[in-house]
Amino acid sequence: AQSVAQPEDQVNVAEGNPLTVKCTYSVSGNPYLFWYVQYPNRGLQFLLKYITGDNLVKGSYGFEAEFNKSQTSFHLKKPSALVSDSALYFCAVSELTGGFKTIFGAGTRLFVKA
Amino acid sequence: EAQVTQNPRYLITVTGKKLTVTCSQNMNHEYMSWYRQDPGLGLRQIYYSMNVEVTDKGDVPEGYKVSRKEKRNFPLILESPSPNQTSLYFCASSSQAVPVFETQYFGPGTRLLVL
């Protein structure tokens, strides 16, 4: 069965510094990986996804993520954090043999301090 | 504007009183799904639907019912709510019937408190 882990409940970073939000996954076949962001009192919004091809995926708001098959990871990154990036971030994984489900991680709260 | 709408946004009820949370999308999407979000647990899927009259259980279906009589609507029904169903609920939709590769679009959420 597929699973996804976000090992950090919270990440703190200063504005202007690079940020990384970690995600590891477990699937039996090829993984299809997603990052979503949730701002306060809002639904989840899509940031980026990896389906196939280039391991470095670029998404919305300057975010990118690197797919690493050997480490089964899909970490979210941004070169220079903004205060407005403060939000709850969810990693998600699906696979063709997964019963049409997308499994979400528990979420990582990002705080960017001015 | 393309969107997923949910109603109500906030609901306080008592144990055992039947309620329905509505979900509607205007993007002609095939796939719709309900999730609940609880602290430390992320999003867990309750039910999903790949098309009209086609629904299936997710990971936490107990105590919930759904129906998909029209493509745009996917209501979530709690026949006899209990306090452990206090949660934040999200409806989502996706353009493909099997959204393995596809982005899901989420509604704004419904915060439910069962006393």
Give percent of chain B above pLDDT 90.
Answer: 77
Quickly state the pLDDT bin for B5 (edges 50, 70, 90): very high
More confident residue, A95 or B70: B70
Q: Which of B43, B54, B98 to mutate to test the interface with A (most CBs of A within 10 A)?
A: B43
Q: What is the structure's pLDDT at A41?
A: 81
Residue B105 has pLDDT above 80, yes or no: yes
Q: How many angstroms separate the Cα of A1 from the Cα of each of A26, A38, A93, A101, B34?
A: 8, 26, 11, 10, 20
Smallest Cα distance from A45 to chain B, Å: 7
HSE toward the beta carbon, residue B13, CA cutoff 13 A: 23
Is pLDDT above 90 for A65?
yes
For residue B99, pLDDT beyond 70: no
| Chain A contacts to B (CB-CB under 8 A) | 6, 9, 32, 34, 36, 41-46, 49, 51, 90, 94-96, 98, 100-102, 104-107
Torsion sign (Cα): A109, B1, B4, B6: positive
| Distance separating alpha carbons of residues A111 and A92, to the nearest angstrom | 21
Q: A61 to each of A4, A14, A79, B29, how far by Cα in Å?
A: 23, 17, 11, 25
* % of chain B exceeding 70 in pLDDT: 97
Q: pLDDT-based confidence at B79, cuts 50/70/90?
A: very high
- Determine, for residues B59 and A94 on separate chains, whether the beta-carbon distance falls below 8 Å: no
pLDDT for B102 beyond 90: no
Closest-CA residue of A relative to B97 is A100
Cα(B2)–Cα(B40) distance, rounded to whole angstroms? 30
Asked whether the beta carbons of residue B59 and residue A101 sit closer than 8 angstroms, the reply is: yes
**Closest CA in chain B for residue A4:** B42
Q: Contact A76/A47 with Cβ under 8 angstroms?
A: yes
What share of chain A has pLDDT > 90, as a percent?
Answer: 75
CB within 8 Å: B43 and A45: no
Q: Is the pLDDT of residue A96 over 90?
A: no
Answer yes or no: are the C-beta atoms of A6 and A76 closer than 8 Å: no
Q: How many Cβ atoms are within 10 Å of B40's Cβ, its own excluded?
A: 7
Q: What is the pLDDT of residue B4?
A: 96
Is B104 a residue whose pLDDT tops 80? yes
Q: How many residue contacts between A and B have a Cβ separation below 8 Å?
A: 59
- Chain B residues with CB under 8 Å of A107 CB are 42
Q: Which of A36, A90, A95 sits opposite B100 (nearest CB)?
A: A95
Greater confidence, B81 or A95? B81
Mean pLDDT, chain A, integer: 92
Tell me: the pLDDT tens digits for B15-61?
999 999 999 999 999 999 999 999 888 899 999 998 899 999 988 99
Q: Are A90 and A36 in contact (CB under 8 A)?
A: yes
B99 compared with B81, residue with greater pLDDT:
B81
8 Å CB contact between A19 and A31: no
Taking CB atoms and an 8 Å cutoff, what residues of chain A touch B41? 106
What pLDDT is stored for residue A99 in this prediction? 60
DSSP letters spanning B78-114:
ESS--GGG-EEEEEEEESSSSTTSSPPEE---EEEEE
